[in-house]
Amino acid sequence: MGSRSSRAAVIPDVDSIRRETGFSQASLLRLYQRFRALDRSEKGYLSRMDLQQIGALAVNPLGDRIIDSFFPDGSQRVDFSGFVRVLAYFRPIEDEDTGIRDSKQPEPLNSRMNKLRFAFQLYDLDRDGKISRQEMLQVLRLMVGVQVTEEQLESIADRTVQEADEDGDGAVSFLEFTKSLEKMNIEQKMSIRILK
């Protein structure tokens, strides 16, 4: 423990980060190493470029949006705590989380709602709290690929929005978004095991 904590002490603000994200010391350390590896010029922060250099991310249809989610509010750099905070959404939900955390913080980052919120903001580009038809169309365009034509995409987008749209405003609010996914095991589908 001694050696580990001393190594973990390299990380700035370890304790507060741990408290916020709920990551274990070991995974924090691993993430920190990864962070340093991504930060090629050792700036102490990551720029968009750093993330864009991850090869597979370029192929990922949602890669850009996910990179964007690391840079909230138009900032151009993300430090380690910001980096970890995004990844914390994908920490698996553990039983003890609910017990311990509820008293201190109402919602840990990896709660179902927060996981959904993360996904939601990938759709909601203009941040108005609603996935409009246009936004849906954009996502579909990314996801579906070339073999479906624009018109088909539009009809899919229409139907998708309709399906989830309960109040008839032609857009999917976060509430409607969660509702359309209430049958899905988000806790499982939006978690990565190694991020304990």
Partner 1 sequence: MMRAVLPLFLLHLAGATEEPPQKPGLPGEPSPGLALFRWQWHEVEAPYLVALWILVASLAKIVFHLSRKVTSLVPESCLLILLGLVLGGIVLAVAKKAEYQLEPGTFFLFLLPPIVLDSGYFMPSRLFFDNLGAILTYAVVGTLWNAFTTGAALWGLQQAGLVAPRVQAGFLDFLLFGSLISAVDPVAVLAVFEEVHVNETLFIIVFGESLLNDAVTVVLYKVCNSFVEMGSANVQATDYLKGVASLFVVSLGGAAVGLVFAFLLALTTRFTKRVRIIEPLLVFLLAYAAYLTAEMASLSAILAVTMCGLGCKKYVEANISHKSRTAVKYTMKTLASCAETVIFMLLGISAVDSSKWAWDSGLVLGTLVFILFFRALGVVLQTWVLNQFRLVPLDKIDQVVMSYGGLRGAVAFALVILLDRTKVPAKDYFVATTIVVVFFTVIVQGLTIKPLVKWLKVKRSEHHKPTLNQELHEHTFDHILAAVEDVVGHHGYHYWRDRWEQFDKKYLSQLLMRRSAYRIRDQIWDVYYRLNIRDAISFVDQGGHVLSSAGLTLPSMPSRNSVAETSVTNLLRESGSGACLDLQVIDTVRSGRDREDAAMHHLLCGGLYKPRRRYKASCSRHFISEDAQERQDKEIFQQNMKRRLESFKSTKHNICFTKSKLRPRKSGRRKEGVANAEAPNGKPPRDLGFQDTAAVILTVESDDDEESDSSETEKEDDEGIIFVARATSEVLQEGKVSGSLEVCPSPRIIPPSPTCAEKELPWKSGHGDLAVYVSSETTKIVPVDMQTGWNQSISSLESLASPPCTQAQTLTCLPRNPLDAEEPQAPLHLPSDPRPSFAFPPSLAKAGRSHSESSADIPQQQELQPLMGHKDRTHLSPGTANSHWCIQFNRGSRL
Instruction: Give 25's contacts (C-beta < 8 A, 6+ positions apart).
Output: 4, 5, 8, 14, 18
* Cα separation values, 126 from 76, 123, 129, Å: 18, 9, 8
Q: Are strands 77-78 and 46-47 parallel, antiparallel or unpaired?
A: antiparallel
Which residues share a beta bridge with 173?
Answer: 130
Helix axes 133-144, 150-164, angle to 10 degrees: 130
149 is an interface residue for partner 1 by CB under 8 A: yes
- Interface with partner 1 includes 148 (CB under 8 A)? yes
Which tokens is 93 given? Answer: 């939900």
Cβ atoms of residues 184 and 119 within 8 Å: no
The one among 7, 9, 162, 175 contacting partner 1 by CB under 8 A:
162
Nearest distance, CB of residue 25 and partner 1, angstroms? 16
Closest distance to partner 1 from the beta carbon of 56 (Å): 5
CB nearer to partner 1: give 45 or 90: 90
Q: Which is nearer to partner 1, 61 or 72 (CB)?
A: 61
Asked if 161 is part of the footprint of partner 1 (rule: CB under 8 A), the reply reads: yes
67-86 residues near partner 1, rule: CB under 8 A: none
Rounded-to-integer distance, Cα 67 and Cα 10, Å: 25
User: What does the radius of gyration of the chain's CA atoms come to, in whole angstroms?
Assistant: 19
State in angstroms the smallest separation of the CB of 38 from partner 1.
Answer: 8
Is 152 a residue that touches partner 1 (CB under 8 A)?
yes
Q: Does 150 bind partner 1 (CB under 8 A)?
A: yes
Q: Does residue 140 belong to the site contacting partner 1 (CB under 8 A)?
A: yes
Which positions touch partner 1 (CB under 8 A)?
Answer: 31, 34, 37-38, 51, 54, 56-57, 59-63, 66, 87, 90, 92, 118-119, 122-123, 133, 139-140, 143-145, 147-152, 154-166, 168-170, 179-184, 188-195
